[in-house]
Amino acid sequence: MTPAEFDAAEYALMEQAGKIQSRMDARWNEIHRAAGDKKRYYGRRSRWQMRDGEALSIVKRLAGIQRLESLPLQDRAARQARDLVADLDVLHDQLTSFQEQIAGMEDAYRQAPWTRYFPCLNADGHIHSSLRGCATVRNDTAMGWETALSGQEVDVIVQMPPAGLGPRLCSVCFPDAPVEHCRSLSDITRAEREAAAAAKKAEREAKRLIKELSDDDIFRDRDGHRVTTVNRCKELIREEVEGRDRWGQGPSRFHDQMVADRRKAANILIAREAAAPGTGMTQEAIVKMIENAVIRNRKAGARI
């Protein structure tokens, strides 16, 4: 077996052992409840008041294994207690079997060890050379195991993702690794985050340039309001069409001024489009927009 295959097989055993351990923990909780035990809270954490051995002793008495004359035995409670004890024994045997297999594989590994990589699974974790052997790893720290990279050189695995785990080695586990290979995940991704932020800023600026007029193009409309955007220029062109026969009651008394606004707006849009395609409108597009505005106003009753 290659190191990767060997470690994958051992990791599979560890996962199976973890599942058995979880089932045993659940059974222990049931045993404590069957024994009448209560949990006491210490801050956010809680624990049973009885020791496991005390709770198990009471349950065994309920099961009739260690019957006391002073403890009445009820059939339902007895059956439940016997099932709990029997299930716990089976799980214990299974867990012991897996642990023995894992220990045997670890003995074989220690005879001719190879590089192993265990990434810490917290938000900014490093990569360790063992599962729990590093002093910087707590017992409750969530850890992974990149078995596919077992046996490979450090220079390979420090490549940026997705080729490897990235240059975030634990300096305690890999004391000979250069400093640039022992960075945190936040340090590694900082450049990417900064580049992404710069790209978003450039995108916002590009949108602003498309939507907003330059200082040289800004003008005031018939009401004295500053026209600063492309959208407002388009509105002025459509408003001129509406002003030709306002609500079917003849031309607006401001129509001459509306025509002047339309001409200024159209000239600006055409010039912008010629200088930077996509930032304005062509003459043909403006004509089409006016034709659509005529149709829309006719449907509303205008005699254009």
**Confidence bin at 68 (pLDDT 50/70/90):** very low
Cβ-based burial of 121 (10 A; exposed 0-12, middle 13-18, buried ≥19)? exposed
Average pLDDT, rounded, for the chain: 88
Mean pLDDT (whole number) for 105-118: 95
Q: Are residue 125 and residue 94 in the same domain, yes or no? A: no
Beta bridge partners of 45: 42
Q: Are residue 90 and residue 121 in the same domain, yes or no? A: no
DSSP string, 92-121: HHHHHHHHHHHHHHHHHHHHS-----EEB-
At 79 the pLDDT is 78
Q: Are residue 39 and residue 83 in the same domain, yes or no? A: yes
Q: Are residue 61 and residue 145 in the same domain, yes or no? A: no
Model pLDDT for residues 119-132, shown as the tens digit of each residue: 998 877 889 999 98
Mean pLDDT (whole number) for 5-9: 96
Residue 165 has pLDDT above 80, yes or no: no
At 73 the pLDDT is 45
Q: Are residue 8 and residue 101 in the same domain, yes or no? A: yes
Q: Are residue 184 and residue 252 in the same domain, yes or no? A: no
Residue 42 has pLDDT above 90, yes or no: no
Q: Are residue 181 and residue 224 in the same domain, yes or no? A: no
Q: Are residue 109 and residue 124 in the same domain, yes or no? A: no
Q: Flag the least confident range among 57-66, 79-88, 120-129, 210-219.
A: 57-66
Mean pLDDT (whole number) for 138-145: 88
Is 155 within the bounds of a domain?
yes
Instruction: Identify the residue with better confidence: 46 or 247.
Output: 46
Q: Flag the least confident range among 33-37, 98-102, 154-158, 168-172.
A: 154-158
Domain end call among 113, 129, 158 = 113
Residue 257 has pLDDT above 80, yes or no: yes
Q: Are residue 16 and residue 78 in the same domain, yes or no? A: yes
Mean pLDDT (whole number) for 157-183: 80
The CATH number linked to 46 is 1.10.287
Is 16 within the bounds of a domain?
yes
At 71 the pLDDT is 44
Triad 159, 161, 167: Cα angle to 5°: 45
Residue 275 has pLDDT above 80, yes or no: yes
Is 304 within the bounds of a domain?
no
Domain that holds residue 243: 219-299
Name the residue type at position 10: E
Domain end call among 68, 94, 113 = 113
> What's the total number of domains in the chain?
3
Q: Are residue 107 and residue 90 in the same domain, yes or no? A: yes
Domain end call among 84, 113, 142 = 113
